[in-house]
Structure 1
Amino acid sequence: MRAKEDHHRFHHKVNMYITKKLFNNPTAYIILLLLSYALGYLSSPKPHTPPPPSRPRAGAGAGAGAATATSNSTIQLPPSLLDNFRVTTRCAADSVPPQLVRQTIIDRIFNGTSPYVNFPPPHISHLLRRRRIKGWGSYGAVFGNLIDKVRPRVIIEVGSFLGASALHMANLTRQLGLDSQILCIDDFRGWPGFRDKFKDIPMVNGNVLLYFQFLQNVIYQNAIDSVLPVPFSSGSALTKLCEWGVVGDLIEIDAGHDFNSAWADINRAWRILRPGGVIFGHDYFTAADNRGVRRAVNLFAKINGLKVQIDGQHWVIHSAVNA
């Protein structure tokens, strides 16, 4: 028993001696510290690494809005690829009746007074032309074809500029005896540098007068009862129409021509398209090829299982026609 105690006492003295030497020697202390860290790291449990997203697989069924339809097959996309495309704004449960759409916009945006009342203001009138209507692809056959087929009570145009296509649609609905309201969504700011091409559009204190010239054009065409501006960005305007319950039978997309702008406008506009309605737009064939509007349109159609039809330079998607 005594021998065992002497043995433990001897080992204790040895350990104390080694510890004292290590702490008095900085190099040895650092080596011991690094060894301890390495042993602790190696012995710790490994974090769980999720498997990489599965590759798209042909022949999968549609699921949770993530299905991509093609002419030959259906592809199941990983949901994570669609996360950034979701729009979470809640739309009104009930839609505004077509006959109340005009007054709803006037009340909510213009404080109850039509923007055409007492127009133009004296300090602007001398700067406006009686008529300055300009657009691109604004008189294509697609407008008459769709209006004749859909017979829309409410038309929503995203991207109006000086109102050429809106006024053309107003004339077409009038010829068909339709009581249609056309809402023109545009911030009426043009784009940086647009006045290099439109030098006759005046500017006052840095504010280009596109909006006032648009109103003047509508008055000149005697279309104030059927054409109403919604002078905000497409994103904010479409979001609010959704919240207010304003829906369209026919929606034209012709604002930003890059992929991101077109993609956002199409997705937001689709949410306020009345069931059975039609959404369409310009610039399907441009120098941007499949990097701009066309890419956005095709991707939207694939994801939602819809068919893209072509009418001249315009793309057309009928909500009631699947691919």
Structure 2
Amino acid sequence: MPEEIIDLNAIATDRHSINSSDKPKEVTFNRVHSILYGDPSTKLIYDNAQKYFNKTFDQTYPHTFLKEDIFISIIQNIHPLLKLQFIVEVGSFTGNSASIMGNVLKKSYPGSFILCIDTWLGDLNMWVNKVVWKHLSVSDDGRPTVYYQFLINIIKQNLTEIILPVSMTSILGARFLQTYQFYPQVIYLDSAHEQGETLIELSLYWNLLQPGGILFGDDWNWRVVRCDVKKFIYMKNLTIQHFKRIWILKKSID
């Protein structure tokens, strides 16, 4: 079981959770940006997006299966007592799915934002089988530059005050949220898709999800993903919904 292989609330011994009395009632874009990068009114993370690599808008990455109507249906099913204000996406790549969600939030949920957690280093399939290799955009010195493609794609859609990237592993990202007691209402899990790793991610991010919230993910057709999701719902006695490749879990309010 996940609880037996990972401490859900573990934080390194030289750190501690931020006191709840200091925690803002709402997790805001400006608050998280200030913690990660400094005051966004003086230096926004997007300001130097083209400093190192000359990227242009490109959303041709083919493996984005989240659609606007599916996302709207999902967020309309969070518990009525919850205000949709903070979404976490784990696995963003070029930002196609983040853009879909961000444009919905921009139109209908003012003040809300998405924290995008990704290493922007690609997954095993990309490095071994060279799947969508051109989109990883590896530089001559061997470093993927897809992160800068993500930044440009968000800038060109005027979503720089709604979508905030943080270059971390999924586990580090979960620990960051736990440290600051930042609990999202919705989590989209679309990370590495390796068996066992997906199970750990599910365990960590389910623990962070607000009661009444929704955790959903992509690639139900991948055997390794389906295996870990099925293990998790069995252990948690959950009911799963899925729409084509998208799988959906709702957390009880009690």
TM over 0.5: yes
Matches within 5 A, 1:231-250: 231-250=167-186
Q: In the alignment, does 2:193 pair up with 1:257? A: yes
1:186 corresponds to: 118
Which whole-Å CA distance do the structure 1 matches of 2:159 and 2:129 have between them? 26
Matches within 5 A, 1:144-163: 144-150=72-78, 152-163=84-95
Matches within 5 A, 1:64-213: 83-89=4-10, 94=20, 96-97=23-24, 99-112=26-39, 113-121=43-51, 123-125=52-54, 128-134=55-61, 135-139=63-67, 141-150=69-78, 152-191=84-123, 192-193=127-128, 197-199=132-134, 201-213=137-149
> Pairwise CA RMSD of aligned residues?
2.6
State the identity as a percent.
24
Query: How much does 1:155 deviate?
Result: 0.7
Indicate how the Cα distance of structure 1 residues 196 and 175 shifts in structure 2: closer, same or farther if over 3 A, else same.
same
Amino acid at match of 1:89: A
8 A Cα contact 2:89 2:117, kept in partner: yes
Amino acid at match of 2:67: Y
Q: Which runs of 5+ in 2 are unaligned?
A: 12-16
Partner of 1:230, secondary structure, is strand
Larger Rg: 1
Which whole-Å CA distance do the structure 1 matches of 2:202 and 2:153 have between them? 27
Scaled by the length of structure 1, what TM-score is found?
0.66
Query: How much does 1:270 deviate?
Result: 1.1
Amino acid at match of 1:105: V
Which whole-Å CA distance do the structure 2 matches of 1:183 and 1:82 have between them? 25
Which whole-Å CA distance do the structure 2 matches of 1:224 and 1:178 have between them? 14
Which whole-Å CA distance do the structure 2 matches of 1:252 and 1:131 have between them? 22
Q: In the alignment, does 2:230 pair up with 1:309? A: no
Which whole-Å CA distance do the structure 2 matches of 1:216 and 1:295 have between them? 35
Indicate how the Cα distance of structure 1 residues 149 and 83 shifts in structure 2: closer, same or farther if over 3 A, else same.
closer
Indicate how the Cα distance of structure 1 residues 243 and 161 shifts in structure 2: closer, same or farther if over 3 A, else same.
same
Query: How much does 1:294 deviate?
Result: 1.4
Q: In the alignment, does 2:221 pair up with 1:300? A: no
Deviation digits for residues 12-65 of structure 1 (CA, Å, limit 9, x no counterpart): xxxxxxxxxxxxxxxxxxxxxxxxxxxxxxxxxxxxxxxxxxxxxxxxxxxxxx
1:21 corresponds to: none
8 A Cα contact 1:251 1:273, kept in partner: yes
Query: How much does 1:129 deviate?
Result: 2.1
Task: Give the length in aligned residue pairs.
Answer: 236
Amino acid at match of 2:10: T
Matches within 5 A, 1:41-60: none
Query: How much does 1:261 deviate?
Result: 1.5
1:283 corresponds to: 219
Which whole-Å CA distance do the structure 1 matches of 2:25 and 2:67 have between them? 25
Scaled by the length of structure 2, what TM-score is found?
0.82
Which whole-Å CA distance do the structure 2 matches of 1:240 and 1:273 have between them? 14
2:154 corresponds to: 218
